[in-house]
Amino acid sequence: MKFLIAFIFSLTLSFAPAASLTTNEVFVRLQSIIETDKGFETLLTDLEDLDNKELTALLKEFDRTWPQIRDKYLKDYQNFIKSKFTGSAKNDTAKEIRKYRSEFMKVYQLGDDPMKPLLKKTSMPALKALKKLIMPNIKEVLSTAPTALINQRKMAITLAKFRDAIVNTAVLYDEEAAEKSLIHIEKEGIAAYGGLPRDGLRIMAENNKIAENEKVPENEREGIREVNEWRLLLGLNALVLDHKLCNASRTHSEDMDKVGFFAHQSPVPGRKTPWSRAAEAGTKASGENIYKGSTSPNSANKGWFYSPGHHKNMFRSSHKRIGLGCYDKHWTQMFG
C-alpha cells in the first residue's frame, strides 16, 4: 500500500509542471480511491473534463509504473496458486477428488428407479464439489489468501480500471483492456495448476475453433462446453464438437417445434431416427437426448442430468463426439 501511494504521489509531482490542475486532481482522486474504495465514479467524470492530448499524456505517464505493479501482483498470485495445488495440498485434494468421483459413478451404475432420487442428492453435489476442488473460481481461491495478497489484488484491479477508463475516454481502440487481461491471467493460473487433463483442455480449445469456423450458435457452444466440463471433472474424456451432429440436432429440434411432436422417432421423411438424421447431415450417431421447455442450454443439460436414461447417455465413456442443436425451446443433443 505504501509503495502504491508513493507511486501516485510521484505521478502527481512529475506531472505537475506540464499538466493542468485538473489532471493533477485526477491523480489525487485515484489515491483517495485506493485508500478508501470510494469515489471511482467521480474519477470517471474528472477524466471526461480532459482533452485527448491530456488523456494520452496521462496514460503514457501512468504506464511508466503500472506494468511493474501488475506484474508484481501476478507473480505473488501465481506463487499462491502454486502452493494451493502442489505438495501436501495436492495430495489432500487428490483424495477428495477420488472420493467424489467414486460417489458419482456408484450412482451412475444403478438402475433407473434407485438412481433417480440420488441424482439430486448425491450426483450433482459431487459434481459441484469436484468443480470447487479442481477448477475453483477466483473468489474461492482467494478466500484463503493472505491479507497482503488480497490488498495487492484490490489495488491492481483499481489501477486496471483506471487505465481502462483513460483508454475508453480517449477512445483508443488499439489498447488492451487492462482489467479483462488481468482477470484472464488469473483464470489461466488456476487452469494451469488445476486438475483438468491437458488433452481434454486441448479438445475444448479446438472445439472453440470448430464452432467459430462453422458458425455454431453461441448457446449451442455453451451447452457443449458445459457437458465437456462435467465429463472432465469426472475423469471422462472430452467430446469433440461435430458440427454435422449440431446441424442434425438443430434440424430435429426445428422439426419437433414446427411439426408438433416430441420424440426420437420423427414423422419427417428421411429423418425418422437419430441414425438417419445423422446420415442426412453427413455423419454418424451413437445416441440422442431431447428436451423441451427453455431457451437456456444449462436448463437442457440439467434436465438431462436429472433424468436417468439421458444422464447415462451424457456420461457414457464410449462417446467420442457431440452435437447440440436448439430451435426455440426445443433441444436435441447427439453423440457419436
11 with 27: CB under 8 angstroms?
A: yes
Q: Is the pLDDT of residue 158 over 50?
A: yes
User: In the predicted model, what is the mean pLDDT of residues 40-50?
Assistant: 82
Q: Is the pLDDT of residue 223 over 80?
A: yes
- The contacts found for 31-36 with CB under 8 angstroms, 24 or more apart, are 31/5, 33/158, 33/162, 34/1, 34/4, 34/5, 34/8, 34/155, 34/158, 34/159, 35/5
DSSP-derived secondary structure letter, 290: E
CA atoms within 13 A on the CB side of 92: 7
**Considering the chain, what percentage of its residues have pLDDT values greater than 70?**
93
Tell me the DSSP string of 100-128: HHHHHHHHHTS-HHHHHHHIIIIIHHHHH
CA distance 336 to 331: 17
User: In the predicted model, what is the mean pLDDT of residues 95-114?
Assistant: 97
Q: What's the length of the chain?
A: 336
Mean pLDDT, the chain, rounded, equals: 90
CA distance 135 to 82: 13
Secondary structure class of 251 (helix, strand, coil): helix
Q: Where are the alpha helices (DSSP H) in the chain?
A: 2-15, 21-36, 40-48, 52-62, 66-85, 87-108, 112-118, 124-134, 138-142, 147-170, 178-193, 198-213, 218-233, 243-255, 274-280, 297-305, 308-314
Strands 240-241 and 321-327: parallel
User: In the predicted model, what is the mean pLDDT of residues 91-97?
Assistant: 90
Q: Is the pLDDT of residue 25 over 80?
A: no
Q: What is the pLDDT of residue 196?
A: 80
Q: What is the pLDDT of residue 287?
A: 96
248 with 325: CB under 8 angstroms?
A: yes
Name the more confident of 261 and 89. 261
Of the candidates 282, 291, 298, the one whose C-alpha atom is nearest the C-alpha of residue 227 is 298
User: In the predicted model, what is the mean pLDDT of residues 97-101?
Assistant: 96
Summarize pLDDT for 117-137 with one digit per residue, the tens: 999 999 999 999 999 998 888
189 with 83: CB under 8 angstroms?
A: no
Q: Cell triple for residue 121?
A: 442428492
Chain mean position to CA 227: 13
Summarize pLDDT for 2-19 with one digit per residue, the tens: 455 555 545 544 444 444
CA distance 242 to 214: 10
Summarize pLDDT for 274-314 with one digit per residue, the tens: 999 999 999 999 999 999 999 999 999 999 999 999 999 99
